[in-house]
Structure 1
Amino acid sequence: MRTLGIDLAASPPTTAAAVIVWEGSTAVVEPPRLRCTDEELVGLLAGLRPGDHAGVDCPFGWPIPFVEAVSAHAAGRPWPGRGTDSATHRATLRLRRTDLLTHRALGAGARPPLSVSFDRLGATTARWAHLADALAARGVEVERTGTGGVVEVYPAAARLRWALGSPRSMEVLLATAPQLRCEPRVQELYDRSEHAFDALIAALVARAVALRLTAPPGDEDRAAAEIEGWIHLPPEGSLPLLF
């Protein structure tokens, strides 16, 4: 079994991918792929075999109220916030349901999630939409709730759940998960690039998804998740369970 992690950015220079090959109770970390192009990412994702999983650090969609508001504006229909305070209405357009639920699960001390509507993160999601469409053209459908082999992940939240601390450190990761096999030269590459390190965490979360350690959306959240995406969050202290 292989798991693939992708730390997606709006352009290749800050996009990285990581692959872990799982062999019994151990896992071999391959060298990171840096500056990943669209073609390389589509090739990696389309090359997943049955049983493989991929975790992508990127929102898979935009908040439904934001999409509805932009669509209304484009069509010349009344703005959904008509008659309400502008700032109050804009606040309802900022975050997806999965963003709100993830922040609640992490606790008040966690950093608030970025807005895919109003922050630069939107450019990354636009790139993901392009990649997902390219995969669909090749017959690979990405189900936004993560029921397929490709799921949305949040490495910063996973590091918090696994008590890996800050800043990012391969030494800490390998001490916490000694079953990971990582050659010194490969370890150095991951330590040198925060994007590669987050891609590696994404690949570990993909393993948690494969083992059904993460929670899919419940009945009350499924309809929104099918449009907005769904962050798969590993349980606290679950890193040893991956092996």
Structure 2
Amino acid sequence: MRTVGIDLAADRSKTAMAVVEWRDGRATVGPPRLRCADDELLDALGGLGQGEQAGVDSPFGWPAEFVRAVGAHLAGAAWPGRGQDSERYRKDQLRYRLTDRVVRDQIHPLSAPLPAPFDRIGAMVARWAHLEDELKRRGVPVDRAGSGSIAEVYPKASRHRWGVLDGPRRMEALLGAAPWLRCDGPTRLAYDASEHAFDALVCALTARAVACGLTGRPGPADVDAAREEGWIHLPLPGSLPLLPGNAP
């Protein structure tokens, strides 16, 4: 089976993709694809076969409270944060999705995902929204909670969960932690030369964890928010060595 990892950015110059082939307890890393345009991403995500999985480093949606606030402002209705502390409302409820707060609390405040509505991340989410819509038009459903073949992942949090990958993005560290990975010399150098490519590779490994049921999924109380806002799939602690041997 294949897993696909995508490190998405607002423009193609910083967007990378990695593909990993899993067979007989081994995983073979293909060369990274850099400067990926929408058509290349759509072909990869739309071409996933039975049992194959993709992991995308991008918020799959905006915070529901942010969307409600923008809608209220556009309509001239009451501001949802009326009567609340303005700074606290803006810095938490408008900035972060439920899944962002879960990652922040489970990993470390410094590893919290960047807020989707603010700065450059908003433009990246808009690019993902376009890709998601085009996938649906092509008959490829996207469940933002990640129950289908495409899941939201966060490589920084994955590296943190796998412990030994907390340092610089270097293939030496990754191959040392995952000796079952197969990667030729030129491919290794290509991943070392691009942090976007390296993150895409971690996304592909996290996609394998998703496929193997080795990530945290939204509980009954969180699933509705996850289907609106997206859900970051965090690998279970200690799961990296389990990836090559687990089904599928």
Q: TM-score, normalised by structure 1?
A: 0.97
Root-mean-square deviation over aligned CA pairs: 1.0
Q: Match for residue 237 of structure 1?
A: 238
User: Partner amino acid for 2:112?
Assistant: P
Q: Match for residue 16 of structure 2?
A: 16
Tell me the CA shift for residue 235 of structure 1. 1.3
Q: Match for residue 41 of structure 1?
A: 41
Q: Match for residue 101 of structure 2?
A: 100
Tell me the CA shift for residue 55 of structure 1. 0.1
Tell me the CA shift for residue 85 of structure 1. 3.1
Q: Match for residue 149 of structure 2?
A: 149
User: Partner amino acid for 1:84?
Assistant: Q
Tell me the CA shift for residue 121 of structure 1. 0.7
Tell me the CA shift for residue 117 of structure 1. 1.3
User: Partner amino acid for 2:13?
Assistant: P
Tell me the CA shift for residue 216 of structure 1. 1.3
SS at match of 2:111: coil
- What is the count of residue pairs matched by the alignment? 242
Tell me the CA shift for residue 237 of structure 1. 1.9
1:205 counterpart = 2:206 = yes
Separation in 1, partners of 2:85, 2:30: 52
Separation in 1, partners of 2:111, 2:223: 25
The answer to whether the Cα contact below 8 Å between 2:4 and 2:204 also exists between their aligned partners in 1 is yes
The answer to whether the Cα contact below 8 Å between 2:111 and 2:157 also exists between their aligned partners in 1 is no
User: Partner amino acid for 2:105?
Assistant: R
Q: Match for residue 186 of structure 1?
A: 187
Stretches of structure 2 lacking an aligned partner (at least 5 in a row): none
SS at match of 2:203: helix
Tell me the CA shift for residue 119 of structure 1. 2.5
Tell me the CA shift for residue 113 of structure 1. 2.6
Separation in 2, partners of 1:119, 1:239: 33
More displaced 10-residue stretch of structure 1: 111-120 or 227-236: 111-120
Separation in 1, partners of 2:166, 2:90: 34
Q: Match for residue 59 of structure 1?
A: 59
More displaced 10-residue stretch of structure 1: 163-172 or 42-51: 163-172
Stretches of structure 1 lacking an aligned partner (at least 5 in a row): none
User: Partner amino acid for 1:218?
Assistant: G
Q: TM-score, normalised by structure 2?
A: 0.95
Tell me the CA shift for residue 87 of structure 1. 1.4
Tell me the CA shift for residue 107 of structure 1. 3.4
Deviations 1:111-169 (A, max 9, x none): 33311112211110100000000101100011000000000000000111112131111
Separation in 1, partners of 2:174, 2:107: 20
Separation in 2, partners of 1:83, 1:6: 41
